[in-house]
Amino acid sequence: MEFKVITNSFPEWEPFCAQYSGLVFHSEVWQQVLQTGLQYPSMYCTLWEGPNLVLGLPVFLMDYTIFKILYAAIPYGTIIGDHQALPYFFPALYNFLRSQKLHVLHLGGAYPGVSPLEIPGHTPKYQPGHLLALQDTSAEDIQKKYKPYTRRGIRRAERGGVKIEKISSRCEVEDFYFLYLCAMQRNQTMAKYPKKFIYSIYDFIIAKGQGDIFFAKLDNKKIAGVMILYSKDIAHYYFGGSIKEYLKYQPNEALFHKAIVRAIELRKSAFDFMGSDKNDDDLIRFKQKWGTVRYQTAHYAIVQNAFRYALWNSGLRLLSSSWGAALTRLLQDRRTGHDRE
């Protein structure tokens, strides 16, 4: 068995990813999204048996000199392939982390439809997710799975004149990003996604037919939006945003119903509402009202330097405070730069 860190695309990855995963988040194009949109170098930590790829971990590097953090490709970043070879993979991976003086590796333990990854010597943290099964369900019958008050919300949106439209041009990314910042401000949450990242998703994923952005409009004004990305068998709600003053018109109910119906039309087997903060009861209840099944995803932090990792977490908590989050949103809002170019 040979461990290799590969810093560019290579022909074996896509068929390997299709065999073991099928998720867009493990694909080569998603690595391009992360590298272009977040401006971090990406790479693949791999294990080979002769010419055959056995295991792979797509990652990107956040190098701030005093903090060097390796992230598995977000979301659902984990080791894919033949897990029987993990005893050969982990020692080589840890040697790589030490040789590069990386302070921590963040990776996930599973994604919908696979058994959880267990990493000896490390305790995972768990995050709830919600999945809506679409198999043997038609677009006409899907509402039977919703809670009654969800169906009422959809009808209220229709009666109130809310219309759902797909993104029609690249320039509308600006509108979607504005809605995202509105939601972050309402929730007093740090705007962790830069605008360049949204443009990167549009250019590499949505413009190529592997995703959609849906807008809810009232009197021709965009009042809410959601981004949906498509894996082989699953439609994923990635994130969205809305204007608080218009929530009484139930735009999110209309948006998600439209996105779910579209997933059925594309013959996806499930609609993934993805992870939530375990303490965000309102968001969890929103995802449950669509008739979803709750699942747990494990997340690991493989720490190589405890002091710097603690210092990094202290900085994140500071940025997540109310004033830190407000400052981050302001900076993101002003980073117009050359995103349209």
User: How far apart are alpha carbons 302 and 119 in whole angstroms?
Assistant: 9
Q: Which pLDDT score, from 0 to 100, does residue 304 have?
A: 80
Look at residue 70 and give its three-state secondary structure.
strand
Q: Which pLDDT score, from 0 to 100, does residue 310 have?
A: 78
DSSP H helical ranges for the chain: 13-20, 28-38, 86-99, 148-159, 173-186, 195-201, 251-265, 281-288, 306-320, 322-334
Whether this prediction's pTM lies above 0.75 is answered by: yes
Q: Tell me how crowded residue 117 is: count the other CB atoms within 10 A of its CB.
A: 18
User: How far apart are alpha carbons 97 and 69 in whole angstroms?
Assistant: 10
Whether the domain at 2-122 and the domain at 130-296 fall into the same CATH topology: yes
Look at residue 72 and give its three-state secondary structure.
strand
- Determine phi and psi for 122, rounding to 5 degrees: -130, 135
- The structure tokens 């009861």 sit at 281
User: How far apart are alpha carbons 198 and 275 in whole angstroms?
Assistant: 19
Residue (of 145, 153, 148) closest to 291 by Cα position: 145
User: How far apart are alpha carbons 130 and 286 in whole angstroms?
Assistant: 10
Our CA angle for 129, 132, 137, nearest 5°, is: 170
User: How far apart are alpha carbons 131 and 134 in whole angstroms?
Assistant: 9
Please give the C-alpha separations between residue 321 and each of 94, 276, 312, 314, 328, in angstroms, as whole numbers.
33, 18, 15, 11, 10
* Intra-chain end-to-end CA distance of the chain, in Å: 45
Q: Characterize the bridge pairing of strands 68-72 and 104-108.
A: parallel
- Domain ranges in the chain are 2-122, 130-296
Residue (of 251, 239, 229, 243) closest to 178 by Cα position: 243
DSSP letter, residue 204: I
Q: Which CATH architecture has domain 130-296?
A: 3-Layer(aba) Sandwich (3.40)
Are 107 and 55 spatial neighbours (Cβ–Cβ below 8 Å)?
A: no
Q: Which pLDDT score, from 0 to 100, does residue 330 have?
A: 47
User: How far apart are alpha carbons 254 and 258 in whole angstroms?
Assistant: 6
CATH superfamily, domain 2-122, is: Gcn5-related N-acetyltransferase (GNAT) (3.40.630.30)
Are 328 and 319 spatial neighbours (Cβ–Cβ below 8 Å)?
A: yes
Q: Which pLDDT score, from 0 to 100, does residue 308 have?
A: 72
User: How far apart are alpha carbons 260 and 182 in whole angstroms?
Assistant: 24
Are 255 and 240 spatial neighbours (Cβ–Cβ below 8 Å)?
A: yes
Please give the C-alpha separations between residue 65 and each of 60, 68, 140, 186, 201, in angstroms, as whole numbers.
15, 6, 55, 34, 27
Are 28 and 13 spatial neighbours (Cβ–Cβ below 8 Å)?
A: yes
How far is C-alpha 99 from the geometric centre of its chain's CA atoms?
30
What residues in the chain have per-residue pLDDT under 70? 312-313, 315-341
